[in-house]
Structure 1
Amino acid sequence: MYLLGQQENQRYFETAIANSLLHHCYLIHGKKGTGKKAFVKELAKFILCGSWDCTCRTCRNIDSNNHPDVNFFSSEDSIVKLETVNEFKKASLYSPLEGKRKIVILDGVDRLNVQGANKLLTLIEEPPPYLTIFLLSDNVTKVITTIKSRAIPIMMKPLSKNKLSEYLEKNNQLQFQEAEIVADFCEGSLGQALQLIETDFISNRKTLYDLLCECNNKGTDYIKISSLLENVDINITLDLLEFWVRDLMYLKFGQNKHILINKDYYDKLININVNDPEKIMKKIKLIRNSLKHSINSMLNLEVVFNALQEV
């Protein structure tokens, strides 16, 4: 599963290892949800075991994060703490215990400050001969140049929507239309798709869009909005709203059902007349900014529902 859509990267590492050309540092980059962490875990198994899809003791230990020669470091902070970099560097200097190679993984290299980057740089410039470093980044443009210049970049490509839809339908017990909806929403991100499936995304989407249609016909019912949406992730709600408004923008310039994201709502969307969808998009952007300051998100959603009727 975790190699899905990454066959080109898979072949690269197979060739590098077969010819003893494994570099000491790789920069694995791609949008959030493209499976960087899972892919690197599969690479670690292949490097230490020599096989894909293996269930040996080495591979089982890597899967359960219990292998002494594979260490993963990450931070959810906006800036990766210097403490995390120090721990990463310390672990890198320990010789491997069970094999010939030590593998260390640092997630969030695009969130290092100058001090953290400089500490990491000293390791990358003079690594121990047994070490393989994987640096993970959601935004490669924010990785400091001196680090990028010393690492081999490997880009994780998002899946095509068709491939993602086929995979979700086959492996996650989704109906064809449900799989298409999730694939469109995630724009090729397998990781995000799998996370959404574990939630009530399909039913929450239906609740929101049915509510939008009802408000368009009957007016805004603030109590109903609050009761139906209070437990839905506000960021998912905003993303769904953007897709809804984007479809309304498409319909202003034509009635081609096939270019819509929400094709299953075409019959209802075609009857909604919105003169200024860009104004609504701006309101949604304002809500996203207001969330950073903990302003009441439900009140902001009511503003958007009003805007859908006003314009």
Structure 2
Amino acid sequence: MSFEGIYGQDKQIAILRRSMEKGRIPHAFLFHGMRGIGKRTTAVAFAKALLCERKTACGLCPACRKVESGNHPDVVVITPQGQFIKIEDIRDLRNQMRFRPLEGPKRIFILVDAERMNIASANSLLKTLEEPSLVNVLILVSSRPYQLPMTILSRCQKLRFHPIPSDIVARYLEEKTGLDGETVAVLAASSGGSIGRALEMHGESYLTRRKRFIGKICEGFSDPLKGILFAGDFGKDRKEIELRFEILKSWYRDLMVYKETGETKKLIHQDFAEAVRSMAGGMTPSDILRALETVEWAHKALEKNANKQLTLEAMTFKLSGQA
């Protein structure tokens, strides 16, 4: 992957290119932003550019080919093994940093999901950051930088990656997947600006599950029995529950957008535009806002390990307007 193959992060790539042109490469970067927007891909492309014979990440020279295949001795990628990044991995990284590059002008160390270092690992890495080397470049990749110690954050050049515009996500999906236009539009709008998330949703039969769940939302909650069934079928595992909260929030978001604008072009669930019109027609903006607040309340309650069934039943009861 070259810089040209990265979607929606032109500003970030321009910053990296300028640092190369000026010969001022920081010894430590922090690439941060939501998941699935190209942080790790950009880190690897940057490593490729630093080692490329043409300094462009050409993809053709031996160095680029080795980086692409994961076999370049001067590029080390560390990922969590289990829940955490282990201190043994950080110690091994520090040991490798003692040596000069084997083939290229620099050695690049990429630490993926850096926020998953435990305290011992972070303290060990801090010693490396306190002793920078001219030939080593460390890139921390994180979607939760606030979980990293300030002592580490303060020693890194921060580069924030932003959510990708939905039209660019759609273009990526059109070019890479061959999906039909309607599927592309829904995935792009539902992705939250993350290509990785859009691909994940496609692979998880998201559209089928979403369609079924929205059908249940459209049935309404006024019938107490339907409300109880809705709560009971909200999802068994955490991932499914998170998905349904995501859909529910985006649904009420669409109701508010339509209520305020009278237009459907900015809806996430454009293929349910008629249902949005119908439901929004029977609600005031205050009703929709209260519904959103109710969904958010239930979501946060479950994150704090509240009783799942009671919380979801209370949510559907409130959404029905009976509370």
TM band (smaller chain): 0.7 to 0.9
- Per-residue CA distance 1:71-122 (angstroms, 9 max, x = gap): 1123277765434432332333343323232111112334556554332222
Task: Describe how 1:99-178 pairs up with structure 2 within 5 A.
Answer: 99-112=104-117, 115-178=120-183
Change over 3 Å in CA distance of 1:300–1:173 after alignment to 2: farther
Inter-partner Cα distance in structure 2 for 1:169 and 1:255: 29
Change over 3 Å in CA distance of 1:54–1:305 after alignment to 2: same
- Per-residue CA distance 1:192-231 (angstroms, 9 max, x = gap): 2222222211222111112222345876186688679669
Task: Describe how 1:109-258 pairs up with structure 2 within 5 A.
Answer: 109-112=114-117, 115-215=120-220, 220=226, 233-253=240-260, 255-258=262-265
Opposite residue 302 of structure 2, the aligned amino acid is: S
> Displacement of 1:238 after TM fit?
1.4
Inter-partner Cα distance in structure 1 for 2:133 and 2:255: 57
Change over 3 Å in CA distance of 1:291–1:145 after alignment to 2: closer
Equivalent pair of 2:294/2:319 in contact (CA under 8 Å) = no
Change over 3 Å in CA distance of 1:7–1:53 after alignment to 2: farther
Give the equivalent residue in structure 1 for 2:15: 12
Opposite residue 204 of structure 2, the aligned amino acid is: T
Alignment of 1:290 with 2:298, yes or no, is no
Opposite residue 36 of structure 1, the aligned amino acid is: K
- The secondary structure found in structure 1 opposite 2:35 is coil
Inter-partner Cα distance in structure 1 for 2:270 and 2:71: 46
> Displacement of 1:259 after TM fit?
4.0
Change over 3 Å in CA distance of 1:76–1:291 after alignment to 2: farther
Inter-partner Cα distance in structure 1 for 2:304 and 2:88: 26
Equivalent pair of 2:291/2:319 in contact (CA under 8 Å) = no
Given candidates 287, 290, 306, the residue that maps to 1:278 is 290
Change over 3 Å in CA distance of 1:243–1:56 after alignment to 2: same
Inter-partner Cα distance in structure 1 for 2:152 and 2:30: 9
User: What is the percentage of aligned positions where both structures have the same residue?
Assistant: 25
Inter-partner Cα distance in structure 2 for 1:75 and 1:309: 44
- Per-residue CA distance 1:29-63 (angstroms, 9 max, x = gap): 11222211111111111111233351444334323
> Displacement of 1:308 after TM fit?
3.5
TM-score, length basis structure 2: 0.79
Give the equivalent residue in structure 1 for 2:319: 308
Inter-partner Cα distance in structure 2 for 1:18 and 1:255: 49
State the Cα RMSD in Å.
3.4
Q: Note the residue ranges of structure 2 that are not aligned, 5 or more in a row.
A: none
- The secondary structure found in structure 2 opposite 1:105 is strand
TM-score, length basis structure 1: 0.82
Give the equivalent residue in structure 1 for 2:91: 86
Opposite residue 216 of structure 2, the aligned amino acid is: L
Inter-partner Cα distance in structure 1 for 2:147 and 2:23: 31
Equivalent pair of 1:30/1:139 in contact (CA under 8 Å) = yes
Inter-partner Cα distance in structure 1 for 2:307 and 2:86: 28
Change over 3 Å in CA distance of 1:44–1:282 after alignment to 2: same
Equivalent pair of 1:121/1:146 in contact (CA under 8 Å) = yes
Given candidates 64, 68, 72, the residue that maps to 1:63 is 68
Give the equivalent residue in structure 2 for 1:73: 78
Equivalent pair of 2:9/2:161 in contact (CA under 8 Å) = yes
Change over 3 Å in CA distance of 1:304–1:179 after alignment to 2: farther
Give the equivalent residue in structure 1 for 2:273: 266
